[in-house]
Amino acid sequence: MKYLVTGGAGFVGSHLIEQLLAEENEIVCLDDFSTGKRTNIAKFADRISIVEGDIRNPQLVRNAVKGVESVFHLAAQISVNRSTKEPLFDASVNIEGAINLFEAVRQSSAKKIVYVSTGGAIYGEPDVLPASEDTIEDPISPYGISKLVAEKYLKWFYDVYGLSYSIIRPANIYGPRQDPLGEAGVISIFLGRIKDNNPVEIFGDGRDSRDYVYVKDISNICIKAMNSNKKDIYNAGTGKQTNLLELVEIIERVTKSHVKKEFSSPRPGDVKHIYLDASKAREELNWVPSTDLELGISNTWKWYEETH
C-alpha cells in the first residue's frame, strides 16, 4: 500500500512510518518541520518520499495526496498551552489545515483517512471517569475545541461525499523522540530537566492525573484502524490514571535520581483529571496497549541518554 502520513517527521508520525515501512508499505511524508525533526526520520529517509510544506497549502497537499491509497493525518498544533495563547494559530492549523487535507483527499483516489485527534483534551472535565467515546465532548482549551471541530468536519465529509474514516482519540502519548524542549509531553520535559540537573516544574499541587500511553501502542492502533472496515471513533488509552507526584516517583526509580520539584500556578486549559476507557478499541480493533508505564519511561530515558 502507498500511504500519506501528515506530520510524519513528528514524534508520533515517525514511529508510525517506521512500523508501516516494516510492513513493506510505500510512504509519503508531509511535514513543514516546524516541530517535526529530520533526525526523527533520518534512518529511513532514503526509503520514503518527503514533501516539505504547510498542511494549509492547497496545491502542496493535493500533490502530496496524488497516487496514495489512504492517509494518516497527524500534522497539528499539539500544545494546549500554546492554544490558549494563540487560539487563532491553533484553529488555523488544526481546523483549516484539516479541512484542506480532507478536501484534497475527497478529490483524489485515496480511500480512507485515519485522523489522530485527542482523548486527553476533548472531554474536558468529565463527571464520570474513565471517559468513553459516549462521554459528552466538552473541551476547555482551544486545542481540544479545534480537534473536535476537525472531527465534525471529517464526519461531514463522510456524510456528504462518502469519505471513509477512523478517528483515534489518544490519551497523553509519550516515548522516544518526543521533544524534551517542546511545549507538550510532560514525561519528556521532565526527563530533559533531570538530565540537565534542573528541577521539574509542576503546575498546580501535583495531583492532576493523566492516562499515559506509549507511542508504539498509538502507531499500532492507527494501523489497526486503517485496516478495519469500521467508520468510528476510538479512545486509545490504558484506562489507568497517574498523577504528577506519582509520575515523579516512577521517574525517580527509572533514572535513579532525586527529582527536585518546583510548584507553579495551574495553567488555563489544563484539565485536572482524565483517563480513557478503550474497551471499544479492544473489542472492535483487537487493540490493547502493551507497554507498561515504567517500562515505557525506561525506554524513553534510554533513548534520551543515547541522543542527548
Q: Do 114 and 226 form a contact (C-beta atoms < 8 A)?
A: yes
Cell triple for 294: 515504567
Residue in this structure with the C-alpha cell 472496515, named with its chain if needed = 229
Query: Whose CA is closest to 272, among 123, 76, 84?
Result: 123
Distance CA 16, CA 36 (A): 13
Asked if 143 is an active-site residue, the reply is yes
Q: Do 225 and 107 form a contact (C-beta atoms < 8 A)?
A: no
DSSP state of 193: H
Classify residue 52 as left (phi > 0), alpha (psi -120 to 50) or beta: beta
Q: Which of 143, 174, 212, 304 is catalytic?
A: 143
How many angstroms separate the Cα of 258 from the Cα of each of 11, 14, 194, 200, 255?
27, 32, 9, 11, 9
CB atoms within 10 A of CB 278: 29
Residue in this structure with the C-alpha cell 517535526, named with its chain if needed = 36
Task: Give the residue numbers marked as catalytic.
Answer: 143
